[in-house]
Chain A
Amino acid sequence: MANHSQFGFQDASSPIMEELVEFHDHALMVALAICSLVLYLLTLMLMEKLSSNTVDAQEVELIWTILPAIVLILLALPSLQILYMMDEIDEPDLTLKAIGHQWYWTYEYTDFKDLTFDSYMIPTTDLSPGHFRLLEVDHRVVIPMESSIRIIVTAGDVLHSWAVPTLGVKTDAIPGRLNQTSFITTRPGVFYGQCSEICGANHSYMPIVVESTPLTHFENWSALLSS
């Protein structure tokens, strides 16, 4: 989850998010180079006298056409690589559905057994010590770690969005439409997210909690819930 006054990304818990963080660092470094150049040029302009002697500037026009093209290529290539990587869907180990309602999520695990449950936010007055305000839910989405998970996201009433920043996932939940996304969690843990599409009065009060566990624990959990 995010800490107070956090400005950057959360630590990555999936390979895609790791790639996104790397790309972000790369883009920032390019931005630093450009900002340094612009700062220097601004300083130069401020120290020059104004003059109207320039009639043409072929060399500088060539430079300020080619350089931005190079910068765009430097940014576009890794960006497109990650974009296509995000759309790759190998054979998933588990498929589950996330259905957004006002104002809770319903999860369906229908691969092996019919397992369906609702996930409501735990009100602040009912929190236990150590719980996070406005982030905890009564039923978490438990998934096996290091397995390819496919999530099919839809909504039952208005637009919602299923987002978990640390996994690099944000998928719109649109009524009447099935959106698909997939991810792999690289480590066990509890990952928090929140609804990311305005959906009414309690839009801020329908969080998402994904719990990534070893396969044995996931099997025990699903057996417990099914019984």
Chain B
Amino acid sequence: QSFKLLGFLDVKSVPCARESVLYGSLGSLVVGLGHFVATSRVRRSCDFAVGGFICTMLGYWFYCRYNLAQHRIRQRMLKEGMRNKILFEGSSLDPERRQTGNEKSDS
């Protein structure tokens, strides 16, 4: 089952979406309530709350997607490394053999 915000953003299947919306809501509450406590102005506090929601949501979204992209790149490098290890193990192209050879020649 999917849960679509405003009818189009499926927060269950899109990575980072659920956390972004939740953190955005929390940020909105904090900023809105904080402004109201400080100034007692309802209308302006609502404006700040909406602004806080958008900024927190987008801010966490970029942070989370950046980390996800780095994670995916590391996954691909790991997959490539594992495949190369299996392919080249014992041959002259084996990176571990080259590394051991370098260490021996250094010592």
Do these two chains interact?
yes
- We find that the number of chain A residues with CB closer than 8 angstroms to chain B is 14
Q: How far is the CB of A150 from chain B (nearest CB, A)?
A: 22
B positions within 8 Å CB-CB of A: 5-6, 8-10, 13-15, 17, 20-21, 46, 50, 53-54, 57-58, 61, 65, 69
Q: Could you name 12 residue pairs across A and B whose Cβ atoms are closer than 8 Å?
A: A8-B10, A22-B69, A29-B58, A31-B9, A32-B6, A32-B9, A33-B57, A36-B53, A37-B50, A37-B54, A40-B46, A40-B50
Q: Which residues of A contact B (CB under 8 A)?
A: 8, 22, 25-26, 28-33, 35-37, 40
Residue of A nearest to B8 (CB): A28
Q: How far is the CA of A36 from the CA of B20 in the complex (A)?
A: 14
Cα–Cα, bound, A40→B51 (Å):
10
Establish whether residues A29 and B53, one from each chain, have CB atoms under 8 Å apart when the complex forms.
Answer: no
A-B pairs with the 10 shortest C-beta distances? A25-B14, A40-B50, A33-B54, A32-B9, A28-B9, A29-B61, A35-B6, A33-B58, A32-B5, A37-B54
Main secondary structure of the interface of A (DSSP, over half): helix
Query: CB-CB < 8 A to A30: which residues of B?
Result: 58
Nearest residue, chain B, Cβ from A21: B14
Specify the chain A residue showing the minimal Cβ separation from B21.
Answer: A32
Q: How far is the CA of A26 from the CA of B66 in the complex (A)?
A: 11
Pick the contact of B13 from A8, A22, A36, A40 — CB < 8 Å? A8
- Specify which chain B residues have a CB less than 8 angstroms from the CB of A28 in the assembled complex: 8-9, 14
Taken together as a complex, chains A and B put the C-alpha atoms of A29 and B4 apart, in Å, by 12
Residues of B near A40 (CB, < 8 A) are: 46, 50
Bound Cα distance from A217 to B8, whole angstroms: 41
Q: What is the CB-to-nearest-CB distance from A4 to chain B, in angstroms, rounded to a whole number?
A: 15
